[in-house]
Structure 1
Amino acid sequence: MIGPVSASQVTVWYDGDCPLCRREIAWLRRLDRREAIAFVNVAEGAACPIDRSTLLARFHAQEAGGPMVSGAAAFAAMWRAIPVLRPVGLMARSPPVLWVLERAYRAFLLIRPRLQALARRLTGPVAEVP
């Protein structure tokens, strides 16, 4: 089993070169007041617990002591660590809810490249929240 990179409740690996990802992670860091999530920017050369291209193709997370998950399951794991989002993360434990969220995530992945390009044009570089 791949262990989390810190003592945090959840470890999240993300693409720091993606303007959409940077914005979302900055927002989630503001919500994560308990610092329950270790955010790992793979674009900065952080060690990848799995193949780098696989890691960058989908969102990945790992709850402490649990398996690495991707897609909607990874978002749900992260949401459970943030009190205000926890109810949504708990609902996603239901297979039908997770199925719907995963289908929505897959649809998003199809348009992600165009959204990234648009975000780069409209906003330029987005600084991360430390």
Structure 2
Amino acid sequence: MLTVWFDGGCPLCRREIALMRRLDCAKRIAFVDVSAGAPSDCPASRDALLARFHAREGDRMLSGAAAFAAMWRAIPSLRPLGEAARFPPLLALLELLYRAFLRVRPALQRLAP
């Protein structure tokens, strides 16, 4: 089982997680909202979990693009994208894009209803 921590206070995050929940028909992902506080079994601080996307795949803690790739691998329709992200140059590119997104995320959050 994959565990994904997300910011339920972020309208963008809520929409994305809602889509991922619909796509996760096999229920392979445990989604944990950390906006109201970190659960006792959190592997990182609440601030760290709110700042970047995190997931735990087995005993490995992942962050950023690697966490997204793990989530994609758990969803059959997105699995090819998640598997492709195992290729280090592609994962590095996805991480650069994710970091760029994080810079514009506050502005996008203000635009989302």
Normalising by structure 2, we get a TM-score of 0.95
Give the structure 2 partner of residue 55 of structure 1: 49
1:109 CA drift (Å): 0.3
Q: 7, 13, 24: which one pairs with 1:21?
A: 13
Alignment RMSD (CA, Å): 0.9
Whole-Å Cα distance in 1 between the matches of residues 77 and 70 of structure 2?
13
- The alignment-based identity, stated in percent, is 66
Give the structure 2 partner of residue 39 of structure 1: 31
Give the structure 2 partner of residue 103 of structure 1: 96
- Contact kept, 8 Å, 2:8 with 2:34, in 1: the verdict is yes
Deviations 1:60-99 (A, max 9, x none): 00112x3111000000000000000000000000100000
Structure 1 residue ranges, 4+ long, deviating more than 4 angstroms after superposition: none
Read off the aligned partner of 1:71 and give its amino acid letter: G
Give the structure 2 partner of residue 73 of structure 1: 66
Q: How many residues align?
A: 111
Pair 1:118-2:95 in alignment: no
Q: Which structure dedicates a bigger proportion of its chain to helix?
A: 2
Give 1 or 2 for the bigger CA radius of gyration.
1
Read off the aligned partner of 1:93 and give its amino acid letter: R
1:34 CA drift (Å): 0.3
Normalising by structure 1, we get a TM-score of 0.83
